[in-house]
């Protein structure tokens, strides 16, 4: 049997929780040997089959993950699968997922406690896991280089975009009020929020009818970042549900994603599946994920980002190309295909655990002769 560490069902949804939820959803349909373990308390099942979810232990948070969960898995002698970056450091057999090392490359984005926990858990988890997953070739290189691990130990399992994100019945469906650019971002340092606002300020000087709408909020894991939200054409929408987000993608002139560091980056794919042109940073995994389907910018150059906003807004031919290219690019990724790769790794680990170790073969030693007087 296989046990999924489903602590992610108790957390706010970011890209990591989205990956874990959608891969789990597909695994449940691909395999009948998968059970989800959750801590006690409030759990958002996210539409997953409740009959395959079991409540384990008495604690919550990291204590549950490091004590209650592995003890439960050991009693059942199950393979444990972690899809959300952390897991019990001492348990075997285990498959763990490592999305990126943003907390190392951009420590200013994260709280001290978060960095301390990851600094303890992640290297031990990597060292002890029989299977290792990550979300892009970029992340495979980053993680293996930093921790001194053979990159061949990692299987790349891409993110995808849910089927609910798709083009509207007509162009611009979902648009309300002023025309707008859209960003899905938390105000964390590595998301490049301040430069995005600065670039929009430049852009707005020559485009007085267009506003910027920003979806997202900051979680407790991140260090507090403060920005001036007083611009009369920047609207901070906070968290929205997927139906609202779909409408926003469909109605936007373009989607802006100037992040400095992403292990993958799900929002640009969601935008592309809704037929929204994408402006993205030429940084980290984004060129790998978006290929030639986006307008790229230097994320450290506000003027370059402002110019890209102007080019996409002012050029309908460019927008039409980006819509077509974006839809084709997003079609390269599938949660089902990615879950199949995870399922294959599960089978590989289970098979290896079931196979008896091969004894070392050496020279055969002749039995010692007994002395005739013995």
Q: What is the mean pLDDT of residues 237-247?
A: 92
pLDDT of residue 359: 54
What's the mean pLDDT in 20-26? 98
Residue 369 pLDDT > 80: no
Q: Is the pLDDT of residue 365 over 70?
A: no
180-330 and 2-160+334-354 share a CATH fold: yes
CA atoms within 13 A on the CB side of 207: 24
**Averaged pLDDT, 16-43:** 97
As a whole-number percent, the residues of the chain with pLDDT over 90 amount to 81
pLDDT in tens, 59-114: 999 999 999 999 999 999 999 999 999 999 999 999 999 999 999 999 999 999 99
**Model pLDDT, residue 169:** 60
pLDDT at 374: 39
pLDDT value of position 121: 96
Least-confidence region, from 44-53, 231-240, 316-325, 331-340: 231-240
Q: Where are the domains of the chain?
A: 2-160+334-354, 180-330
Burial class (CB within 10 angstroms; exposed 0-12, middle 13-18, buried 19+) of 85? buried
Q: What is the pLDDT of residue 358?
A: 57
pLDDT at 185: 80
Q: Which fold has domain 180-330?
A: Rossmann fold (3.40.50)
Lowest mean pLDDT segment, chosen from 102-111, 296-305, 320-329: 102-111
Mean pLDDT of all residues in the chain?
90
Mean pLDDT over 136-159 rounds to: 98
> What average pLDDT does range 272-276 have in this prediction?
97
pLDDT for residue 170: 46
The pLDDT, as a whole number, for residue 187 is: 75
Segment 281-309 shows an average pLDDT of 98
What is the average per-residue pLDDT within 166-193? 78
- Kindly report the three-state secondary structure assignment for every residue of the chain: CEEEECHHHHCCCCHHHHHHHHHHHHHHHHCCCEEEEECCCCCCCCCCCHHHEEECCCCCHHHHHHHHHHHHHHHHCCEEEECCCCCCCCCCCEEEECCCCHHHHCHHHECHHHHHHHHHHHHHHHHHCCEEEECCHHHHHHHHHHHCCCHHHEEECCCCCCCCCCCCCCCCCCCCCCCEEEEECCCCHHHCHHHHHHHHHHHHCCCCCCEEEEECCCCCCECCCCCCCCCCCEEEEECCCHHHHHHHHHHCCEEEECCCCCCCCHHHHHHHHCCCCEEEECCCCHHHHHCCCCEEECCCCHHHHHHHHHHHHHCHHHHHHHHHHHHHHHCCCCHHHHHHHHHHHHHHHHHHHHCCCCCCCCCCCCCCCCCCCC
Q: Does the structure show a pLDDT above 70 at 360?
A: no
Backbone angles phi, psi at 355, to 5 degrees: -80, 130
Residue 346: pLDDT above 50? yes
- Fold of the CATH domain 2-160+334-354: Rossmann fold (3.40.50)
Which pLDDT does position 364 carry in this prediction?
45
Return d(Cα 112, Cα 118) in angstroms, integer.
10
Tokens of 284: 């980290």
């Amino acid at each position: 049997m296989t046990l999924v560490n489903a602590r992610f069902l108790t957390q706010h949804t970011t890209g990591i929780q989205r990956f874990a939820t959608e891969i789990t959803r597909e695994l449940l349909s691909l395999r009948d040997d998968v059970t989800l373990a959750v801590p006690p308390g409030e759990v958002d099942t996210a539409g997953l089959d409740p009959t395959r979810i079991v409540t384990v232990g008495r604690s919550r948070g990291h204590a549950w993950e490091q004590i209650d969960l592995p003890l439960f898995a050991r009693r059942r002698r199950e393979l444990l699968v972690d899809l959300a970056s952390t897991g019990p450091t001492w348990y075997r057999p285990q498959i763990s997922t490592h999305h990126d090392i943003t907390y190392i490359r951009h420590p200013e984005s994260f709280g001290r406690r978060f960095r301390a926990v990851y600094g303890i858990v992640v290297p031990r988890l990597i060292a002890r896991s029989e299977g290792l997953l990550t979300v892009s070739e970029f992340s495979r290189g980053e993680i293996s280089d930093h921790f001194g691990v053979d990159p061949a130990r990692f299987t790349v399992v891409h993110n995808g975009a849910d089927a609910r994100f798709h083009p509207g019945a007509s162009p611009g469906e979902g648009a309300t009020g002023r025309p707008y650019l859209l960003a899905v971002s938390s105000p964390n340092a590595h998301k490049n929020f301040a430069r995005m606002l600065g670039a929009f300020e430049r852009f707005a000087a020559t485009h007085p009818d267009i506003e910027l709408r920003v979806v997202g909020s900051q979680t407790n894991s991140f260090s507090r970042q403060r920005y001036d939200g007083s611009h009369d054409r920047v609207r901070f929408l906070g968290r929205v549900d997927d139906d609202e987000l779909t409408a926003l993608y469909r109605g936007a002139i373009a989607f802006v994603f100037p992040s400095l560091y992403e292990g993958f980056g799900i929002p640009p794919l969601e935008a592309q599946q809704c037929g929204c042109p994408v402006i993205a940073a030429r940084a980290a995994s984004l060129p790998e994920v978006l290929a030639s389907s986006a307008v790229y910018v230097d994320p450290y150059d506000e003027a370059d980002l402002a110019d890209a906003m102007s080019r996409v807004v002012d050029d309908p031919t460019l927008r039409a190309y980006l819509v077509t290219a974006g839809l084709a690019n997003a079609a390269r990724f599938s949660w089902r295909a990615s879950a199949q790769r995870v399922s294959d790794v599960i089978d590989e680990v289970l098979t290896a655990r079931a196979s008896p170790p091969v004894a070392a073969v050496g020279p055969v030693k002749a039995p010692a002769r007994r002395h005739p007087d013995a």
